[in-house]
Structure 1
Amino acid sequence: GNQQKVVLAKWLAIKPRVLILDEPTRGVDIGGKAEIYHIINQLACDGVAVIMISSELPEVLSMSDRILVMHEGRIAAEVDAATATQESIMHAATGGC
């Protein structure tokens, strides 16, 4: 958790307008995840565009406004986070099978 927060702090020092986060909470305990989520939410409130790549569906559902689902390297679906479910995301991610 501390390693991710240090890396995030370094990138935030340059005041980005867009931030791409790839699995930002992988291997982080629950307390560390909450801190990282708080930072991400604050950035979004401050107008920073945040693109988060995550394989943790609860994380995707709780942190996203819009969800793009990939299947075999292509966008398979665009889902509004307000109506998305784990089932709808997995359906798109597995090619609709």
Structure 2
Amino acid sequence: TIANKEEEAVVASTIGNLSIKVSSPEVEIQALSGGNQQKVVIGRSLLTNPKVLFLDEPTRGIDIGAKGDVFRMMVQLSQQGMAVVFSTSDLKEIMAVSDRIMVMSGGKLTADIVRDQAEESALVSASAQGF
């Protein structure tokens, strides 16, 4: 349960800011959909006011609507000056959201490309270099 008014305000703000779909702030996280669970995890991370947000496969296993919400949140945080670093194996996500793309393969950095200069074929090639 939510302990005090300050926590209630933070929870309400996070639910609104991240478009978390929940019938009540008292609902347990495990009762939420995968996409809303992911947004709660991101929301918790944001409560520390980080300068850099690291996300590992932030949209894996969530529905298309929640993916859109997560992408919009990532872009919005970036526009507010936060560095958002994420890993994904989804090339379409990389091309849609990233400003700068770094490819690692076999434990080594194989490409560092500004999004405007990125081509899917070059990224696929770089991802195979370490093997």
TM-score range, shorter chain: over 0.9
1:41 — aligned with what?
Answer: 75
Please, what TM-score do these two structures have when normalized by structure 1? 0.95
Instruction: Identify unmatched segments of 5+ residues in structure 2.
Output: 1-34
Confirm whether residue 67 of structure 1 aligns to residue 109 of structure 2: no
The structure with higher relative contact order (CA 8 Å, sep 6+) is 1
CA distance in 2, matches of 1:36, 1:77: 25
Q: Counting helix residues as a fraction of each chain, which structure ranks higher?
A: 2
Aligned length: 97
2:58 — aligned with what?
Answer: 24
C-alpha displacement of 1:62: 0.8
1:82 — aligned with what?
Answer: 116
Q: Counting strand residues as a fraction of each chain, which structure ranks higher?
A: 1
Taking only aligned residues, the RMSD between alpha carbons, in angstroms, comes to: 1.4
C-alpha displacement of 1:87: 1.0
User: Once superposed, which parts of structure 1, at least 4 consecutive aligned residues long, lie more than 3 Å away?
Assistant: none
Instruction: Identify unmatched segments of 5+ residues in structure 1.
Output: none
Please, what TM-score do these two structures have when normalized by structure 2? 0.71
Match of 1:11 among 30, 39, 45: 45
- Greater Cα radius of gyration, structure 1 or 2: 2
Q: Alignment identity in percent?
A: 42
